[in-house]
Amino acid sequence: MTFSPGTHFGPYEVISLLGEGGMGQVYRGRDPRLGRDIAIKILAKESAHDKDALIRFEREARAIASLSHPNILSIHDFGDHEGTFYVVTELLNGETLRERIGSIPLSWREAVDIGASIAEGLAAAHAKSVVHRDLKPENIFLTADGRLKILDFGLAQTDPLLAGQGDEATVPTQVFQTAPGTVVGTIGYMAPEQLRGESVDATADVFSLGCILFEMVTARRPFQRGSGAATIAAILKEDIEHDALAEVAPQEFQRIVEVCVEKAPGARFQSSRDLALTLRAMASSSTGVRRELFATLSRSPRKTKSIDSIAVLPIRNASDDPNADYLSDGITEGIINKLSQLPKLKVMARSTVFRYKGRDVDAQAVGRELRVRAALSGRLHEIGNRLIINVELVDCADGSHLWGEQYNRPLADLMTLQEEMSREIADKLRLRLTGAEKKRLRKRSTESSEAYQLYLKGRYHWNKRTEESLKKGIALFEEAIGSDPSFASAYAGLADSFLTLGTNVPLPPRDAMPKAKAAAMRAIEIDDGLAEAWASLAAVKWWFDWDWSGAEADYQRAIALNPNYATAHDGYAMLLCARGRFDEAIEQITRATELDPLSRIIAVHSGWPFVFARDYETAVKRFRKALDLDEDFIPAHGWLGLALGQQRRFDEAIDAIQHALRVNRLPILEAMLAHTNAIAGRREESLELLASIREAAKSRYISPYDIAVIHTGLGERDAALRVLQVAFDDRSAWMVFLEVDPRLEPLHDEPAFRELAAKLG
Active site residues: 134
Task: Using only the alpha carbons of the chain, give its radius of gyration.
Answer: 30
Residue 63: strand, helix, or coil: helix
Distance CA 503, CA 539 (A): 10
Is the distance from CB of 298 to CB of 254 less than 8 angstroms? no
Query: What SS3 class is residue 227?
Result: coil
Rounded Cα distance, 745 and 650, in Å? 18
**Encoded amino acid at 696, one letter:** A
CB–CB of 364/375 below 8 Å? yes
Residue type, 712: T
> CA-CA distances (angstroms) from residue 96 to 15, 56, 146, 374?
22, 22, 12, 40
Q: How far apart are the first and last CA of the chain?
A: 46
CB 594 within 8 A of CB 308: no
Question: CA 260 to CA 267: how far, in whole Å?
Answer: 8
Distance CA 485, CA 489 (A): 11
Task: Give the separation between CA 453 and CA 456, rounded to whole angstroms.
Answer: 5
The answer to whether 499 and 513 have CB atoms below 8 angstroms apart is yes
- Closest C-alpha to 733, from 697, 706, 709: 706
643 touches 604 (CB < 8 A): no
Determine the Cα angle at 442 with ends 440 and 445, to 5°. 80
Sheet containing 94-96: which strands, arranged edge to edge? 94-96, 140-143, 148-150
464, with CB counted inside 10 A (0-12, 13-18, 19+), is exposed
The runs of H, that is alpha helices, within 579-649 are: 582-595, 600-605, 608-612, 616-629, 634-646
